[in-house]
Structure 1
């Protein structure tokens, strides 16, 4: 009998704690939480739209969404997610459909992990 290997796609995500601290310092902790919550909501909406565009192979639309994801993720310190969204854009620009599929899978995983990681920070206040 053959052994089947199962690959785990568990990746650590990085985010800029200094960016989160700056949000708290600039807006106050309560307002910063609201900014982060709105940004996470926008990320979720854009990720859902991105999946539809990917299924439709609408690469121009995907490029626009990934540009927006890069900006939003960067604003709240989700550096890994911002980088992977840029990677998707690079594959789109090259016309690399295999690369697009691979980086989209990674963006989905990183997006999920990033959302959980950002809320697991125990103290983002200054």
Structure 2
């Protein structure tokens, strides 16, 4: 009697609300839209790193504040899935559920990479 081994993919496709980018482009213009998206992506990347540090150090209050900020910023550029997972992390931190916090923060990290890349690529390609 042997054990079965299941493989769980550690990758998620990001969903991008393209209408947010189009709305930004209409209200700001093409060049300013790209600048804003680049700035938001920079801040999201920075806060993801700070979040990882806060979680590693057990600073739940700081992690909760960073996850809340990640959710708000990501909504601005159409990363609604990323924002939802960030809000899920806020909930896990609020209930002090360490196992759920670890799982959701890992998911946020996986989703973050593809999300940030997808918004940059879409913004650049749609400008052509």
Q: TM-score, normalised by structure 2?
A: 0.90
1:45-95 deviations in whole A, cap 9, x for unaligned? 101100100001110000000111011001111111100000000101111
Structure 1 runs, 4 residues or longer, greater than 6 Å off: none
1:124: how far off?
5.7
Kindly report which structure 2 residues correspond to 1:1-126, keeping only aligned pairs within 5 A, or say none: 5-121=6-122, 122-123=125-126
1:20-62 deviations in whole A, cap 9, x for unaligned? 0000000001100000000000001101100100001110000
User: Which sits farther off after the overlay, 35-44 or 7-16?
Assistant: 7-16
Counterpart Cα distance in 2 of 1:107 and 1:54: 13
SS in 1 for 2:46: helix
1:8: how far off?
1.5
